[in-house]
Amino acid sequence: MNGDKDLDAALAAMLSDPGCSAVFEVLHEFVDEQLGGGDPAGSNPGVAAHLLSCAACREDYLGLIEAAEKFGDEEPGAAPE
Amino acid sequence: MDAPAPSVPDRAFTSVRDAGVSSGRRSTAMMGAQTSLSHAVDLDAVSAAWVDGLRASGNAHEECVAALHAVLLRVARHEVARRAGSLQLRGPELEDVAQQATDDALMAIRAKVVGFRGESRFTTWAFKFVMFEVSTKMGRHFWRERRASWDEETWEQLPALVESPETHGEQRELFAALRRAIDHDLTTLQRRVFVAIALNEVPMDAFARDLGVSRNAVYKTLFDARRKLRVSLLAAGYARPYSVSGT
């Protein structure tokens, strides 16, 4: 922790934050809405608040965004590696 | 701390930042956490093919499972590589994490696919299990790189920060007040969680594994600690306790 900005993050705790379990339940919807050009943070600010406060779920979210973009169109007919 | 990974495109995080949740404003809409973003819709063709294959029997089912395993493994390898820098893991260890995460994610997906309602593409839904499993498995490796005395070590850093020549007057007073609040206002568990995760950046999953509880349970404790500290700092005269000179 090096200063104001870090302290700001260290103490982030929004009342709208639903917690990790609730966010996991809808994370796929949040990500697809974002990739589809929607505004998931606007329609579900509680999830957005959590992703700002929880480093673990934020990493999952960032990874899922990347994976859905890169591998999301894979079909079952594709030959296994 | 807690910054998005540099390799991730900025736009991936834009809508979260733009929601204004970091500004501290609250609205009626923000108070109620939704548990579903939409109702079930008709599946797209690709998602339907995956779901039909997983719900089928015989060869069709086995072929679909094999194909899904292959896709999940590619996703897991990609994700493990994305996160590898934070844990200094190497080739064989990364592959081991990817393989285990794939197997466990596939097991979860097969168990839960009956409840998949098409709120998103099937692949996005399935990949989130990979993210969770990779996160959990990588948490196991965290402690190998850290000394067991991490919490004492970190606790010693706070007074050093307060007394650092680079910490100016108002900041120094704020950190001193924070230290007092951590000392006096948090429970033992809240103090341990806050110091580990918020100050020392121990991954939530590594800490949860250490305690033998879920990520959600650790986060709830962290959340309560943060709220207490904000209240304490406010009572100590810091109108904006989490940023004395920032925006």
| pLDDT recorded at residue B39 | 40
Higher-scoring residue by pLDDT: B195, B153? B195
CB B72 within 8 A of CB B124: no
| pLDDT recorded at residue B9 | 36
Indicate whether B201 pLDDT > 70. yes
| pLDDT recorded at residue B133 | 96
Structure tokens at B18: 């733009």
CA-closest candidate to residue A4, choices B77, B245, B68: B245
CA-closest candidate to residue B203, choices B139, B146, B150, B128: B139
Q: What is the pLDDT of residues B21-78, one digit of tens each?
A: 333 332 333 333 344 444 456 889 999 999 999 999 999 999 999 999 999 999 999 9
| pLDDT recorded at residue B19 | 38
The CA distance from B124 to the nearest CA of chain A, in Å, is: 5
| pLDDT recorded at residue B159 | 54
Indicate whether B132 pLDDT > 90. yes
| pLDDT recorded at residue B222 | 94
Task: Give the confidence band of B139 by pLDDT, cuts at 50, 70, 90.
Answer: confident
Q: What is the pLDDT of residues A48-76, one digit of tens each?
A: 999 999 999 999 999 999 999 999 999 99
Contact A9 B2 (CB under 8 A): yes
Higher-scoring residue by pLDDT: B224, B144? B224
CB B123 within 8 A of CB B47: yes
* B103/B150 Cα distance (integer angstroms): 32
* B214/B209 Cα distance (integer angstroms): 8
Q: Dihedral sign, CA of B194, B199, B200, B203?
A: positive
pTM of structure: 0.78
The CA distance from A15 to the nearest CA of chain B, in Å, is: 7
Indicate whether B16 pLDDT > 80. no
Please name the residue of chain A whose CA is at the shortest distance from the CA of residue B72: A71
Query: CB pairs below 8 Å between A and B: how many?
Result: 244
A1 DSSP 8-state letter:
-
Indicate whether A38 pLDDT > 60. yes
Q: For tokens 């990347």, what's the residue?
A: A66
Q: How far, CA to CA in Å, does A12 sit from each of A69, B35, B232, B236, B240?
A: 29, 21, 14, 18, 12
Count of CB atoms within 10 A of residue B82's CB? Answer: 18
Contact A63 B171 (CB under 8 A): no
Q: Judging by beta carbons within 10 Å of its beta carbon (0-12, 13-18, 19+), is residue A2 exposed, middle or buried?
A: exposed
Higher-scoring residue by pLDDT: B185, B19? B185
Which of A13, A27, A51 is closest, CB to CB, to B227? A13
Structure tokens at A16: 């709208």
**How far does chain A reach from its first CA to its final CA, in angstroms?**
44
| pLDDT recorded at residue B246 | 33
Stretch B9-20: mean pLDDT: 40
| pLDDT recorded at residue B200 | 79
| pLDDT recorded at residue B209 | 87
**How far does chain B reach from its first CA to its final CA, in angstroms?**
17
Contact A67 B174 (CB under 8 A): no
* B154/B168 Cα distance (integer angstroms): 21
The CA distance from B144 to the nearest CA of chain A, in Å, is: 19
Counting other chains too, the contacts that B235-243 makes at CB distance below 8 Å and 24 or more residues apart are B236/B177, B236/B180, B236/B181, B238/B174, B238/B177, B241/A11, B241/B174, B242/A4, B242/A7, B242/A8, B242/A10, B242/A11, B242/A12, B243/A4, B243/A5, B243/A7, B243/A8
In this structure, chain A runs to a length of 81
Report ipTM (2 d.p.).
Answer: 0.90
Q: How far, CA to CA in Å, does B93 sit from each of B78, B97, B157?
A: 14, 6, 32
- Whether chain B has a CB inside 8 Å of the CB on A28: the answer is yes
